[in-house]
Structure 1
Amino acid sequence: MTRKPAPKHGAALPSAEALRDFIAEAGTRLGKGDIARAFGVAPEHRQALRAMLRGLEREGALVRAGGRRIRAAEALPERCVVEITGTDRDGDPMGRPVPWTQPGRPPIVFMQPERRGHAALAPGARVLARLRRIDGDRYEGRTLKRLDDEPATVIGVFRAERAGGWVEPVERRSRAEWQVPAGETGGAETGDVVRATPLPAFGLGPKPVRIVERLGKMGDARSISLIAIASLGIPVEFPQAALDEAKRARAAPPGKRTDLRAVPLITIDGADARDFDDAVYAEPSGPGFRIVVAIADVAFYVKPGSALDREAKLRGNSVYFPDRVVPMLPEALSNGWCSLRPNEDRGCLFVEIEIGGDGRKLRHRFGRGLMRSAARLTYEAVQHAHEAGSEADLPAGTLGHLYAAYRALAAARAARGTLDLDLPEREITLDDQGKVTGVAPRPRLDSHRLIEEFMILANVAAAEELERLRQTCMYRVHAPPSPEKLDALRSLLATFDISLKPGDQILPRDLDHILKRVAGTDAAPLINETVLRSQSQAEYAPETIGHFGLALKSYAHFTSPIRRYADLLVHRALIAGLKLGQDGLRPEDGADFADIAQSITITERRATDAERQSADRYLAAYLVDRVGEDFAGRISGVTQFGLFVSLAETGASGFVPMALLPDDFWHYDEASVTLSGKRSRIVFRLADKVTVRLREAKPVTGGLLFSLVGGGGIRHGGAAGRHEPKPKGRKRPGTAPAKSRRRRG
């Protein structure tokens, strides 16, 4: 039992040692109010108490335990079994200790990259790792021993030989090929993308595999998405029970639903979209607007505990590729009864929201309704009609009111101070045969922003409504950047003579101010990307810590239950809390939310990884016929081993290894992030424009290899200026020593 200190009315602050002892003895999660009451801290000292707790958190003595609560940090042993759960933004594996029986979320272990020749750690793999505490509940891990003798499956491209052949793994970090003995080829031919299983191996030398499935031809661009699906274990086929349930689906009856069929709700999606799960409407209301956001009533068709529910929970989300979609729900629902097709009656959950003229939400009301979409429009068509002053055959004022409401919401967002990253998305277009025909920036129109603001507004209303109802909620949370990432960001910004305010209490508007400052400059793409990398990854959780990027206290995904399981849970919680039907969240379901949150966070990151890998491979396939051509690009990364370069034309990223740099003695300065030649006095720095020649493009891994054209770089004493390497022996505090490396011709 926790020994509670005797409170003293109006007491000053306890000592740090007393705080540590009290929180450690509590053995549970505590709020700041609990601690203040236990020590009788006077109101005027509570801000100082918060500062003390933040200090203990930075020291690693405390960790966050959901919501605004904390607990004592229990250090993991130096050696620990770690299960890989996914990858971070850089593609490096991350995991959790096994087993984990403590209250709250398990610590996160960021695994260091494997040595060359070792296959990358895949989700589900377990390793014995040596751990080093970074801070709080975050650790760095280095693999001591793989506990899975071999991967359960190998995805790669087969190359036949006289007797058997070889499989080249699709994992970019895997250097070693697998040998296929005679009689184990499964009928595969050279160029086939295959799935293989390891065979027993004796002694040294290449490890053998048996080919068990042919997935397609590497020359066929459609095989690219299959590689990601197979290598990451994304479920594709639905069990028959789930298909049967979807087949039995019928139209939602009017019942007690609110009739919205007279409201001209419209869907606005991409031209290639096949499922339409959100519809919007706006009209003036006093100085502000009345907004209606209607979402497909997926909960009506996917009942808790059903075969459809089990499969949706397993998948977590839909996964999108340039040539296909791996849906969370069968097509009979995702493209049928749960798609808000124009001029067809559909069941929906809706939220009616009143906003003021300044865009701030005044009130909201949720309900279950029956709607009929007035039109299915694309972003481009809506933008064109609005700019032309047309209503696109809709009732007068439909688009005009939507845009007016959007401008009010955008003003409220600006006043709130959110992080608005400018990271153009590349759109890959394919022909009927699946071959890449073009890669271009996806346009970012006001029509995109309009839908985004309406969806954010509805998501905020959903979170607030569930809090009002004291109902279990699956929050979308986004923690502030860690102190280490902020330090790394400051170091980079310093190379551009940009300063970020000191301390760890950074607000989204502080970062957004920097983005606006560099907008339109050569450094803007790099700084936007670096600010993105400095962010914590958003995740799902049953308790809120707020959403840093959107500058919101509470946020929950409500608007896409067709493709995200989290949204379906939010719908069920609203149905239960507002007594809108018998298919809402069951009382016992809330106990599983922590485990479900971790699971769907992992599946979301798996989907992101699959989409990124596929994009890299499609780009490599697109460029494979252009090997030998020269391209304009910018330096996006500088390391002691060479340069990363992003191409202006396609956004594809590749590597210039040290061996392909001009013959020189190269000096890498980690503080200024530069690579400088001692003899040539050439300096390579981040964001510099360069011309590169494509030396190699490998669709199997998505890797691109470049060499510089004309040497590149900036000569010392010229425009390099503030990016010149520091004098020998000097370095900034907290950075690793500069490294030098000779590249011989």
Structure 2
Amino acid sequence: MAKKHSTDFDHLPGKDDILRFVADNPGRSGKREIAKAFGVKGANRIGLKRLLAEMADDGTLVRRRKKLNRPGEVPAVTVLQIFGRDADGELLARPASWDESEDGPTPLVLLVRSSRDKGPAPGVGDRVLTKLTAESDARPDQPSHTGKVIRVLEKERGPILGILGTDSDGNFRLIPIDKKQKETLIHADDAVKAKKGDLISVRIDRPGRHGTPVARILDVIGDMTNEKAVSAIALHAHNIPHVFPQRVLDEAEAAKAAPLKGREDWRNVPLVTIDPADAKDHDDAVFAEADTDPANPDGCIVTVAIADVSWYVRPDTALDSEALLRGNSVYFPDRVVPMLPERISNDLCSLREGVDRPALAVKMVFDAAGHKKTHSFHRIMMRSAARLSYQQAQSAIDGQTDAKTAPILETILQPLWQAYSIALKGRDARGPLDLNLPERKILLKPDGTVDRVLVPDRLEAHKLIEEFMIQANVAAAESLEAKKSALVYRVHESPSMDKLESLREFLRSLEITLSRSGNLRPHHFNDILARVADTEHEIVVNQVVLRSQSQAAYSPANLGHFGLNLRRYAHFTSPIRRYADLIVHRALVSALGLDEGGMLAGFESRLEEIAADISAAERRAMLAERDTTDRLIAAHLADQIGARFHGQISGVTKVGLFVKLDETGADGFIPISKLGKDYFFYDEARHALIGEKSRERYRIGDKVEVKLVEAAPIAGALRFEMLTEGTKTDGKPNRNTDRKPGRKTAVKTGKNRKSRRQKPGTAPSRS
């Protein structure tokens, strides 16, 4: 018997009727609902089922979880995945489950949230249950729907990083880098993607049968002996974007050299770049000359030219979005993660010797006392007269010229140093905070392992460039304020009262007094630093003074810069590597009418959010750089277990001591349980641990000898054993400094007590 076609059934709705019903009832149009709406009963249900199947086969309808929709139509209530933000900072999302081959182009949804909404605020990466409203007049490149978040289903936890290992049953497991993370099983289908010992990143897929989570491998970074594995850990652990999307690279490659039109021609001005010898990009150049104005005797004119990044990186472009996402470049011993692709940072915006390059320049006039009298900004085309390293420029000034510096010594280098000597007078009069904390630099071997750690010389050439850049930054802030333009300031607030009181208590233990004046300025701290210079307390006092300071950040509000002792300050001089500087460049272009590449209208409303984002990106980069250094040095020392080292106590906590090694600057931890057979009390005021019976004291800044007993390269942690006896003291420990009244901060050590053994990877961190 031949099968009946769907049209053989009676009382079936037409296809147009079904489409109208589906359109009027989005997300609620299953076979049952359609049958009920059109009164289809009995045997006719079979015909309706076939009719709907035909409409699904020919693409008239799409079937999604037993519901029928018109192609491209999204259910009124659906689950979305938030993937990014638009130019105004609003969240953008797409349906969590969508197949373009069946459902058509993926809808783009703009999420809206009011101040009355309750619950956790959604963010990029979250899955959210959302009620949608279609936008009838949306263009193809705009969101087709707006969505109101009903609730956040799960907050994005991000990938977990670790080493692929196995358990006793042969199952593959992830051994997390972060000791706070639990071990996870690896999905059986993914085990073939990597080999035991590889560094991998995973995402939790589902809970296991016995409580152990099961994860899927996202990325195989490679063998831990790979030279870039250590910095790769930091990139993944801190979620630092390090791979440019193809659209960003395409946009950068399509960029053309900036034209001379609309710019002042400064190609005959002998500007020079002075950078580290291994620098790949050169975004600032300087020139100085004596001021011939009779009204400014013995004055000088300093010009600072900065690569015109704003010409190439325009608002609301892929390059701009990626630069904001990154916030800044990140510098590791073995690599640089740039804010902008190399086509921009190392080519079009690198002020190469003898090559025409666009720049934004500020010309500053100083009087004989080093006070800036006037300044002016110019959009120029320049041509660098020479590319010099700090050491090269300094050697020339010191009398050792080479083939490049000899011809420009009298005409370019000496005038720069003469201008610096004038600017230095102004700096000394201003009195910025003058900390002496040498920075160490790690030199690597060709295989990526540590060769040695050194403290580079702090040359006059470094200080010259630093001071000229500071003055240029001040000029940028002043010009924008004069034009009443919004901008992002670099701010550094004065120390908090709590930190100041803690500093006073510590200094009192050294018989040093810090004024209780309500208006402390940097010179009050400088007086103390000068007092301890070249003494046994120099390093520790510098460290404690540094810890008493607030953290610098970015803000659209002018809060001043305490450390530099400046009323207004904005970052202008490094737009290749800092998004804050790019904002200031754009603001200057707009405020001063310097042609294209300025800010878009209404940008002021986004500055607070942008300032918070780039401040967070800066802190993220600092942590990643520090973690990488710790891991490299821990790996460097891993084969020296049992070796003795000289160092200095760099931190004191309730549970032990941190010791910084003299040779490498590496920090290691000594648990309080390993200090001796005594109760040790934590004296917060003196930054010390003091034995109750022995009266032995270990205080921040003490010189000690330690033995390395454990190294954990993956965690970047070292554990030491103390070899030096504590200093005998007659004073009683100040137990009142314990923040929990009535609770003694003490641990008895020795054989008769259980040792509070601290794993290297779990030593408490110092903030």
TM-score (norm: length of structure 1): 0.76
Q: 2:732 maps to which residue?
A: 725
Q: 1:241 maps to which residue?
A: 247
Q: 1:84 maps to which residue?
A: none
2:170 and 2:318 map into 1 onto residues whose CA distance is 46
**TM-fit CA distance, 1:299:** 0.9
1:168 pairs with one of 166, 171, 175: 175
* Local SS of the residue matching 2:408: coil
**TM-fit CA distance, 1:396:** 2.1
Tell me: CA distance 1:552–1:737, structure 2 relative to 1, closer, same or farther (3 Å). farther
2:487 and 2:557 map into 1 onto residues whose CA distance is 8
**TM-fit CA distance, 1:250:** 2.3
Q: 1:64 maps to which residue?
A: none
Q: 1:586 maps to which residue?
A: 600
1:339 aligns with 2:350: yes
1:311 pairs with one of 300, 311, 322: 322
* Local SS of the residue matching 2:563: coil
Tell me: CA distance 1:571–1:708, structure 2 relative to 1, closer, same or farther (3 Å). same
Q: How does 1:105-124 map to 2 (within 5 A)?
A: none
1:147 and 1:520 map into 2 onto residues whose CA distance is 59
**TM-fit CA distance, 1:675:** 1.8
**TM-fit CA distance, 1:468:** 1.0
Please say which of residues 496-505 and 362-371 is displaced more in the overlay.
Answer: 496-505
* Local SS of the residue matching 1:308: helix
1:100 and 1:490 map into 2 onto residues whose CA distance is 46
1:734 and 1:208 map into 2 onto residues whose CA distance is 41
2:408 pairs with one of 379, 382, 394: 394
1:651 aligns with 2:665: yes
2:613 pairs with one of 579, 585, 599: 599
Q: 1:301 maps to which residue?
A: 312
1:495 and 1:177 map into 2 onto residues whose CA distance is 46
- Post-superposition Cα deviations, 1:469-508, rounded to whole Å, max 9, x if no partner, equal 1122221111111111111211222222212111543211
2:684 pairs with one of 664, 670, 691: 670
1:383 pairs with one of 394, 399, 402: 394
* Local SS of the residue matching 1:185: helix
Structure 2 contact 502–685 (Cα < 8 Å) conserved: no
* Local SS of the residue matching 1:256: coil
**TM-fit CA distance, 1:150:** 8.4
- Post-superposition Cα deviations, 1:39-87, rounded to whole Å, max 9, x if no partner, equal xxxxxxxxxxxxxxxxxxxxxxxxxxxxxxxxxxxxxxxxxxxxxxxxx
- Post-superposition Cα deviations, 1:595-646, rounded to whole Å, max 9, x if no partner, equal 1111111111111111111111111111112221100011112223111111
2:124 and 2:176 map into 1 onto residues whose CA distance is 16
1:343 and 1:366 map into 2 onto residues whose CA distance is 23
1:362 pairs with one of 360, 363, 373: 373
Q: 1:505 maps to which residue?
A: 519
1:443 aligns with 2:443: no
% identity of equivalent residues: 44
1:369 and 1:532 map into 2 onto residues whose CA distance is 40
**TM-fit CA distance, 1:179:** 3.9
Tell me: CA distance 1:123–1:310, structure 2 relative to 1, closer, same or farther (3 Å). closer
Structure 2 contact 504–513 (Cα < 8 Å) conserved: yes
Question: Which amino acid letter does the alignment assign opposite residue 240 of structure 1?
Answer: Q
Structure 1 contact 312–329 (Cα < 8 Å) conserved: yes
Question: Which amino acid letter does the alignment assign opposite residue 674 of structure 1?
Answer: A
Structure 1 contact 627–695 (Cα < 8 Å) conserved: yes
1:188 aligns with 2:202: no
Structure 2 contact 646–703 (Cα < 8 Å) conserved: yes
* Local SS of the residue matching 1:575: helix
Question: Which amino acid letter does the alignment assign opposite residue 223 of structure 2?
Answer: K
**TM-fit CA distance, 1:369:** 0.4
Alignment: residue pair count: 600
- Post-superposition Cα deviations, 1:538-566, rounded to whole Å, max 9, x if no partner, equal 11111211111111111111111111111
2:279 and 2:331 map into 1 onto residues whose CA distance is 11
Please say which of residues 282-291 and 446-455 is displaced more in the overlay.
Answer: 282-291
Q: 1:278 maps to which residue?
A: 284
Structure 1 contact 731–738 (Cα < 8 Å) conserved: no
Q: How does 1:539-554 map to 2 (within 5 A)?
A: 539-554=553-568
Structure 2 contact 682–738 (Cα < 8 Å) conserved: no
Please say which of residues 676-685 and 595-604 is displaced more in the overlay.
Answer: 676-685
Q: 2:42 maps to which residue?
A: none
Tell me: CA distance 1:406–1:154, structure 2 relative to 1, closer, same or farther (3 Å). same
Question: Which amino acid letter does the alignment assign opposite residue 716 of structure 1?
Answer: T
Tell me: CA distance 1:523–1:737, structure 2 relative to 1, closer, same or farther (3 Å). farther
Structure 1 contact 681–716 (Cα < 8 Å) conserved: yes
- Post-superposition Cα deviations, 1:183-213, rounded to whole Å, max 9, x if no partner, equal 5434333321110112422577544433332
Tell me: CA distance 1:589–1:716, structure 2 relative to 1, closer, same or farther (3 Å). closer
- Post-superposition Cα deviations, 1:114-145, rounded to whole Å, max 9, x if no partner, equal xxxxxxxx99999xxxxxxxxxxxxxxxxxxx
Tell me: CA distance 1:186–1:511, structure 2 relative to 1, closer, same or farther (3 Å). farther
1:613 aligns with 2:627: yes
| Higher RCO, Cα 8 Å, sep 6+ | 1
**TM-fit CA distance, 1:452:** 0.4
Question: Which amino acid letter does the alignment assign opposite residue 594 of structure 1?
Answer: E
Tell me: CA distance 1:185–1:307, structure 2 relative to 1, closer, same or farther (3 Å). same
Tell me: CA distance 1:614–1:395, structure 2 relative to 1, closer, same or farther (3 Å). same
Query: Where do 5+ consecutive residues of structure 2 fail to align?
Result: 1-112, 117-122, 128-151, 292-296, 752-767
Q: 1:516 maps to which residue?
A: 530
2:631 and 2:411 map into 1 onto residues whose CA distance is 45
1:690 and 1:165 map into 2 onto residues whose CA distance is 44
RMSD of aligned Cα (Å)? 2.6
2:163 and 2:728 map into 1 onto residues whose CA distance is 43
Q: How does 1:16-31 map to 2 (within 5 A)?
A: none
Q: 1:153 maps to which residue?
A: 159
1:713 pairs with one of 723, 726, 729: 726
Question: Which amino acid letter does the alignment assign opposite residue 286 of structure 2?
Answer: V
Q: How does 1:116-155 map to 2 (within 5 A)?
A: 151-155=157-161
**TM-fit CA distance, 1:703:** 0.6
Structure 2 contact 304–362 (Cα < 8 Å) conserved: yes
Tell me: CA distance 1:462–1:633, structure 2 relative to 1, closer, same or farther (3 Å). same
Structure 1 contact 164–184 (Cα < 8 Å) conserved: no
1:736 and 1:300 map into 2 onto residues whose CA distance is 63
Q: 1:70 maps to which residue?
A: none
1:536 aligns with 2:547: no
* Local SS of the residue matching 2:378: strand
Structure 1 contact 671–735 (Cα < 8 Å) conserved: no
1:396 and 1:623 map into 2 onto residues whose CA distance is 48
